[in-house]
Structure 1
Amino acid sequence: MSLERRATPPWIADDVCTYCPSLQFGLGEFDVAERPDPRAWPWNPERALRLDAETGVGVCVHPHKVRLPVGRYASEGTEPDASGWDEPDDAPEPTSEPPADAAAPGPRKPAIAMPRFLRRIRHPAAPAAPAAPEAPAELAAAVPDDPSALGRWIAAQLHAAAPEDFADTLAYAEAAARTRHPDEVVVAALRDALGA
């Protein structure tokens, strides 16, 4: 194909689905179909997009969103009509009919519209904040009263800890220091102890 690689224009990227092959591939590197057909273009969860069952090429099933006419561009090596990519307000209408053996669309479920600015953002679930560890009583009793000595005390606790216990020792020393000193003093001591 003689096309140079073109990324999806921003006015189209805002309209397409988050898993659209137009966001992953350049112009002409994916096919455009009239509508979803689970037999012809099944969903591939490993690649997170619809693939042509015969060629394995990514398939967009919303020509009105991607602003390209229906065509097997990557599968057949043809060049798409890119006028919809060049002119934001003039999207070409799909020109071909769906395959004769295409599945009929099923009943529609009501869709809940997601705000456009959130469609392409995947938010992983935030981990629950870990509970602050409770310092052992003997460690809490050993915390120095002098704020200037607190950094050296934390460093001594860390030097005495085994490598596999370092994180727990640091958490316990911090919790113990917070029993006697305000947060600002503890943070300064932690920076001093860790060399920051």
Structure 2
Amino acid sequence: MTSDMDHPWDEDALCAVCPGQVHDPGRFDIVDGPGPASRYDTTAGYRRDLVSGVPVCIHPDKIGFPAGRYASAGQRWPAETEPASPPGPMPDDPDELAGWMTALIRHADVDTVAVVLAEAERSAARRFPPELVVNALRAALAEV
């Protein structure tokens, strides 16, 4: 599945649990390796800072950007990159539903992912058959 997301890093080079797989630049912190300040959150699918709850990437070498408190302290992202544009309205084409849901998740703030996904599910259920909605949700969640 492809999404409209264009990241300034190679997603295939990242860990499967890197927040860079699901968040835009500046929406997570990057630190130099694992440590006691962050833990893997099984619900989110990536590490979070224990105090702020902000997603944390622990491999600056894999993501290709230096360590920084980009989300938790508002540190400026080191590259001149703009986040991808928001996903827009729900598509009419059922083949684009999973990509739309994935883009919604990727653009959501850390604290609103569950709410955004629930609203997307409700909206899609009004337009598409239940099996299609469930399959789109599965595909989007597999990307998270």
What TM-score do you get using the length of structure 2 for normalisation? 0.50
> 1 or 2 for the larger relative contact order (CA 8 Å, sep ≥6)?
2
- The structure with the largest strand share of the pair is 2
What TM-score do you get using the length of structure 1 for normalisation? 0.37
